Amino acid sequence: MPRKSTRLKAVETTPPETRSLPVRTAPQKRPYADIDRILRGAFARATGGVSPFGLAETWTDWALHLSRAPGRQLELAEHGRDNLLKLMDFSAKSMAGGSPAAPFAPKDYDHRFTDAGWRQAPFSLWQQGFLAAQDWWDHATDEVRGLRRQDSDRTRFLVRQMLDTVSPSNFPWLNPEIIARTSATGGRNLVEGAVHAAEDMLHTLSQVHTPPPDGYKPGKDLACTPGSVVYRNDIFELLQYTPQTGEVRSEPVLIVPAWIMKYYILDLSPHNSLINYLVGQGFTVFAISWCNPTADQRELSLEDYRKRGVMAALDAIGAIVPGRKIHANGYCLGGTMLAIAAAAMARDHDDRLASITLMAAQVDFSEAGELLLFLDESQVAFLEDMMWDQGYLDRPQMARAFASIRAEDLIYTRAVQRYFLGREDLPTDIGVWNTDTTRMPARMHSEYLRGLFLENRLTAGRFAVEGRVIALKDISAPMFVVGTETDHIAPWKSVYKTRLFTDGDLTFVLTSGGHNGGILSEPGHPRRHYRIGHRPADALYVDPDSWLAEVEPRQGSWWPEWIDFLSRQSSGKGGPPPMGAPASGYKPLEPAPGHYIHQT
């Protein structure tokens, strides 16, 4: 009997899934695959990019698990009975002329019922009836044994979306504020609201970019910190800001914004511009201004944004300010990309970073907030088909996803104010920036959704750069990480996880406000507070709840704390560097904020 060979086959040391970030913008090629993708892409546009298959699966999962839980059904029946009795008691006392305490209260972020008229019968009865139904559904969509947590949370989200459509605040004859205003204006508010509705409908259908109002024009009123474009490629422009002090810190600062937004969220009006503040504190500041990609740029990848974005910017700064390390600051997805770049640099023994600041940026996506409710295999495939057809994720499709997270304020409260109360939207700097949205190239967005959000590869040890896996724990540069208390895009406990996956010196700040407002927390801003804690290198991990209990809040802005951190990591002061480096190919091209900020 012949002996079996004992010779071992050659084995690849790197698992296939880690050699490179997979690009799964199309299923395995089949003869008629393109026909299917064209039809699915058209269907996706018709539904606004929302997969009905994923929603159907969510409802089915919830309903089937609840159907086999008679104990839970009895619990919900009792809860419904209790809510009904509370409503009956409240109604009886209200109709008898009393002023009973309301048994149900709106959520903290729900401002639809702030008008005093909602505290008077019969409006208070309608409000309490709606809130009682909302309370019951919150319990009905709570966890059921065996039900996936994502399906439980998604069902609650979907119920909330449906309930919001029937809120009494949406109907003129049920809303005391609308009734009072209609009476006071003789109905003029409804006429003006109809005009607003027609304008918005035409804008939605035409998708013509609305120019900013007077007093809020980028380059003149916003994004107006003086500087120059010192480098440009097809992905980004590098802005260098004109020094405002006689001496500057030796180490320059690079700002890496998210490509999902225009960079000037960090350079709004002069009084709340983080960039202007930083320059005024004696730092040489550079910022990336990403392009607004078109269908021709559909093949731009995450690696393009890292290599020809962040790394190209570091190379340019190294030529303009030679021999100096760089303070790198990443915001939102820009922070995620910066973390990837920093880990790859650490692996490759590239020590050009003096420090790393991550603002409202996640490196682990297992608790990525309510945006994660939109994502599963069905939903990502649906978006990929839509992007495959049009080459990018369009601005309205992305804006709707963000608006639906807080539909109470961002959709319904605004609609009531604009269409029934006849009030114009008052322009604000952050409001103008918020409407100045960008597109996402198909390949990059697919890689981001799959590799980071869906598969969470970065902290799972399966994210590769240039064919080799990277690890965040390799980063040795001091880190300054900022989370915001009411962030629904990058929840602070998710941002805090940077402490779990790194070992170096790290300062964590938790500031009041949300994803944008918490970052734009300039000194002098009223009602601001923050917490700050320091973890030395190689210290033991402290969970977020314990950290929160240990660290006392401080009043004011966190910006000065950041300046102190950067100053401690700097080597001294000297004269400002020149604007650009023409001899090295980085001559000033045009004044800041450059060309890409104006792309629509």
What's residue 599's pLDDT?
A: 92
Q: Is 332 a catalytic residue?
A: yes
> Residue 361: what residue type?
A
Give yes or no: residues 158 and 251 share one domain: no
**540: in domain:** yes
Residues 469-505 have pLDDT tens digits of 999 999 999 999 999 999 988 999 999 999 999 999 9
| In the predicted structure, residue 26 carries a pLDDT above the cut 70 | no
Cβ count within 10 A of residue 588: 17
> Residue 70: what residue type?
P
Residues 231-280 have pLDDT tens digits of 999 999 999 999 999 999 999 999 999 998 899 999 999 999 999 999 99
**534: in domain:** yes
Give yes or no: residues 496 and 369 share one domain: yes
Give yes or no: residues 81 and 165 share one domain: yes
The helix or strand, by DSSP H or E, that contains position 363, with its residue range, turns out to be none
pLDDT: which is higher, 159 or 254: 254
Residues 386-438 have pLDDT tens digits of 787 778 877 666 666 665 666 666 678 888 988 899 888 888 998 899 888 88
| In the predicted structure, residue 290 carries a pLDDT above the cut 70 | yes
Q: Do the Cβ atoms of 511 and 558 come closer than 8 Å?
A: yes
Query: Under 8 Å CB-to-CB from 539, ≥6 apart: which residues?
Result: none
Query: Under 8 Å CB-to-CB from 482, ≥6 apart: which residues?
Result: 357, 358, 359, 360, 495, 508, 509, 510, 511, 518, 519, 558, 562
**130: in domain:** yes
CATH number at residue 456: 3.40.50.1820
Alpha helices in 96-121 (DSSP H): none
Cβ count within 10 A of residue 293: 23
What's residue 97's pLDDT?
A: 83
Instruction: Residue 169: name the closest of 425, 407, 427 by CA.
Output: 407
Report the alpha-carbon distance of residue 523 to residue 513 in Å, rounded. 14
4: pLDDT confidence band, cut at 50, 70 and 90? very low
Using a pLDDT cut of 70, give the percent of the chain over it. Answer: 90
Cβ count within 10 A of residue 210: 11
| In the predicted structure, residue 510 carries a pLDDT above the cut 90 | yes
The average pLDDT across 544-566 equals 97
**301: in domain:** yes
What's residue 98's pLDDT?
A: 83
Domain boundary among 159, 180, 201: 180
Paired tokens of 533: 């804690």
Give yes or no: residues 306 and 385 share one domain: yes
Cβ count within 10 A of residue 142: 15
Report the alpha-carbon distance of residue 492 to residue 369 in Å, rounded. 9
Give yes or no: residues 163 and 281 share one domain: no
What's residue 18's pLDDT?
A: 43
Q: How many domains does the chain have?
A: 2
What's residue 29's pLDDT?
A: 62
Domain boundary among 152, 180, 208: 180
Give yes or no: residues 166 and 256 share one domain: no
**20: in domain:** no
Give yes or no: residues 296 and 353 share one domain: yes
What's residue 9's pLDDT?
A: 37
Give yes or no: residues 234 and 137 share one domain: no
Per-position DSSP letters for 235-304, written without gaps between them? SEEEEEEPP-SSSEESS-EEEE--TTS-GGGGS-SGGG-HHHHHHHTT--EEEEEE----GGGTT--HHH
139: pLDDT confidence band, cut at 50, 70 and 90? very high
pLDDT: which is higher, 205 or 56: 56
Instruction: Give me the domain span that covers residue 125.
Output: 54-180
| In the predicted structure, residue 377 carries a pLDDT above the cut 90 | no
* Mean pLDDT estimate for the chain: 88
What's residue 403's pLDDT?
A: 58
> Residue 526: what residue type?
P
What's residue 405's pLDDT?
A: 60
Q: Do the Cβ atoms of 452 and 380 come closer than 8 Å?
A: no
DSSP-derived letter for residue 222 is: B
The average pLDDT across 3-15 equals 39
**46: in domain:** no
Report the alpha-carbon distance of residue 259 to residue 594 in Å, rounded. 16
Which of 261, 332, 344, 393 is labelled catalytic?
332
Report the alpha-carbon distance of residue 477 to residue 329 in Å, rounded. 12
Give yes or no: residues 567 and 479 share one domain: yes
Instruction: Residue 141: name the closest of 154, 128, 127, 124 by CA.
Output: 154
**212: in domain:** no
Domain boundary among 125, 158, 180: 180
> Residue 538: what residue type?
D
1: pLDDT confidence band, cut at 50, 70 and 90? very low
Paired tokens of 476: 């040795």
The average pLDDT across 19-43 equals 63
| In the predicted structure, residue 366 carries a pLDDT above the cut 50 | yes
- The model's pTM is 0.87
Give yes or no: residues 116 and 173 share one domain: yes
The average pLDDT across 349-364 equals 97
229: pLDDT confidence band, cut at 50, 70 and 90? very high
Paired tokens of 389: 């057809």
Q: How many helices (H) and strands (E) does the chain have?
A: 23, 17
| pLDDT-wise least confident of 29-38, 111-120, 178-187 | 29-38
17: pLDDT confidence band, cut at 50, 70 and 90? very low
The average pLDDT across 142-154 equals 83
Instruction: Residue 520: name the closest of 243, 265, 172 by CA.
Output: 265
* Strand pairing category for 440-441 and 392-393: antiparallel
**72: in domain:** yes
The average pLDDT across 77-92 equals 95
The average pLDDT across 542-558 equals 96
* Strand pairing category for 227-232 and 590-591: antiparallel
Give yes or no: residues 462 and 575 share one domain: yes
Give yes or no: residues 239 and 355 share one domain: yes
pLDDT: which is higher, 396 or 145: 145
23: pLDDT confidence band, cut at 50, 70 and 90? very low
109: pLDDT confidence band, cut at 50, 70 and 90? confident
| In the predicted structure, residue 167 carries a pLDDT above the cut 60 | yes
Paired tokens of 247: 């001496």
